[in-house]
Structure formats: C-alpha cells, structure tokens
Amino acid sequence: MYKHLISFIRKTFNEPDGFIPLHAPVFNGNEKKYVLDTIDSTFVSSVGKYVNRFEQMMCSITGAKYAVATVNGTSALHLSLILNNVQSGDEVLTQPLTFIATANAIKYVNATPHFIDVDTDTLGMSPEKLATHLAEIAEVKNGVCYNRNTGNKITACIPMHTFGLPLRIDEIVTICEKYHIPVIEDAAESLGSHYKGKHTGTFGILGTFSFNGNKTVTAGGGGCIVTDNQEIAHLAKHLSTQAKIPHTWEYNHDAVGYNYRMPNINAALACAQLEQLDKYIENKRELSNLYADFFKNDHHIRFIQEIEDAKSNYWLNTILLEDRTKRDEFLEQTNSNGIMTRPVWTLMNKLEMFQDTPRSDLSNAEWLEDRVVNIPSSVRI
C-alpha cells in the first residue's frame, strides 16, 4: 500500500537498500577538532572555554540575554521549576502530548502535572482549551492562582513546541499572565524555530532546550536554560554547580545545589554543531517541502506544516493517518522495509503514574494519538 512512499523516501535520502533512521546526527564540521582540543587541554568536565562559548552562542541564536548550560534538557526543566519556586503540592499546567521528561520534571519537585489539551495543527498546547479550562477552575487570590476544585496553587505552565513546530505561544503567555501563572517554555525540540519573528523559548520567563543525540544539533547529551532575567540566570548557574560559593580553594555551599553543569567536552561538540545550525535547518526545511509536495494530493495522509507566522526547524516531520488501524499498518510496512517511523508518545495522562492528575478536555490529544506518525527527518548529506 505504501510502496510509492517507501520508494520516495529511499530516493530522497539516496539510500536504495539500507536502513534509514528517523533522525541521525551529522558530524561534518569542527566536532573532532574541538573535542580533541578539550582532551589536550585536560579541561573535559564542567569548567572550560567551550561551556562559556556555548552559552554565548545560545544567546546569539535565540536572542535571549542569558543562557546557562546544563547536562540535558530534563535537568534544565527541573532547575527551571526550582528557579520558579514551584513547591510540593503545587500544580503545573502542561500538555499530555509530550515526551515524558516534561511531566517527570514536574514530579521531581513533588508538584502535580495538570494537563491541557493541544491544537491539532501545532500539536502544542491550545490557547482556546487553556482559556476555557482556566475560566472554569481557576481562582486568583492575592496574586496567586488556585485550582478551586483541588485547592492547590497553580504555579507554572509548561507548553512544549512539539517536533519543532511553534505553538501559539504568545496567546498562551497572555492567558497565563491574566491568571498570574509564569510560563516556562519546553523548547527542547525547537532550536532554530521562530514564531512571529521571535525564537521559541524566549516568550516565557524561562525557556529550555535539549541537545540529545537525536536533536537537530547534538552535544551527545546536554541542555540549556535561556532567560532575560539576570537574577534568575545567575541563580541558575549557581545551583547547577552545586551552589558552591566561589573561592580559590575552600568548599562552601549556601543552598542545595545540583550537578547539572554541562561538561566542557560536550560543549565542544555542541559548539561545532551550532556553527552549522543555519545550514542544517535550511536542509531540513528543504526536506519538509519535498514531503509537503509529495503528500499534497494524498487524501488519506496529511502532512503537518507550520502555522501562519511560524518558522519551524522541522526536527521531526509528521503525518496524520486516517485512524489507528491505518497508522499501525503504516508503521508495520515502513519499519519492516527498513524505514524507521514511529507513533507519537503515549499520552501522559494514560501512564500509570499520571492517571489521577487534573486535566481539561483532552479530545484533540486523544484524536492525534491515534493518527500521528513521524517519518525520517535527518539532515541529508
């Protein structure tokens, strides 16, 4: 049934017979040079010139005033919640259609995920669903938002730019401001994506990024927090380095800190990758255009494209099948023919540890779960 598509993907990636991964890293710049430089310098851990350079590059790329390197995107989210003073028993708004790290980070601070439905065109948090739900359950007292059904504070909102597709983040921020709820953007998948001319991750008080091995650019592992708030940035760096008070030889600490600082050797890899970010995104956007053209007359498969005013990095190209049966047929045929494809994550609210959490109507997310498939999206050499 999908032989034409399989043939198209093989031709597009110039791979007539072998396995085609979903998203593989490309190392064709200064990666080896910079990594060997860190080895020769012996500064391979969390102190070194590449960590500082990485943070400077992230500020330049995103337009944020400050960037703090972390060991991965999950630690960046965890630390962001701590920086936002989210407490045990609080509720944090987020979306059910996301990678589990988003929900896990909320649990790390003993808070409760409160799931808000997504839009079917962005796959990200829906402003309409958020506004409707908060109008029903939220109450602001003394500048603090409470869930009138549970009595708990709602102290943060974490929308996620799914697969690199920018969501309507300005509307989310405006709604949350009305209810005094700070926004922490999960931009793990959207490095290089923009909405209304502004980089994702810079609309909220904090934004977080991931540099895992399957991301648009990688550090092997690695993450980053960006913000325009100097006080928050300084505290983030302090807490990420075990809250050590700077001193030439003494070891004193003034808070519970975390070993979350990115190692220099990972930062070296990240810097070399970031040097090629524009080229990679141009390449990936060309691929998305090829896919869009291929699927434009297909009445059974819909290719997801960026919304108006958005510029996506198209980290993972995404299609919608007609139903779960068609989705599973597609997954079986493509994977059995050496083309790696995958369904969207199981919705967070369906996982055992999150089944009893508060939520809005989730009909869009449930509809998408039955239909979403990611198709090969690597940078083509």
What mean pLDDT do residues 326-330 have? 97
What mean pLDDT do residues 355-366 have? 97
Query: Residue 98 has what pLDDT?
Result: 98
pLDDT at 118 over 90: yes
Torsion of CA 188, 194, 199, 202, to 10 degrees: -70
Query: Residue 381 has what pLDDT?
Result: 83
pLDDT at 1 over 90: no
Q: pTM higher than 0.85 for the full model?
A: yes
What mean pLDDT do residues 330-336 have? 98
Q: Where in the chain is the domain with CATH 3.90.1150.10?
A: 3-28+277-346+369-375
CATH code at 31-276: 3.40.640.10
Is the CB of residue 371 less than 8 Å from the CB of residue 323?
yes
What mean pLDDT do residues 334-344 have? 98
**Which helix or strand (DSSP H or E) is residue 307 part of?**
none
**Helical ranges in the chain per DSSP H:** 3-12, 31-41, 49-62, 73-83, 100-108, 127-137, 169-178, 230-240, 264-274, 277-295, 324-336, 363-369
pLDDT at 46 over 90: no
Query: Which CATH architecture does the domain made up of 3-28+277-346+369-375 adopt?
Result: Alpha-Beta Complex (3.90)
Tell me the CA distances in angstroms from 34 to 40, 55, 278, 307, 338, one per residue in order.
Answer: 10, 16, 19, 37, 34
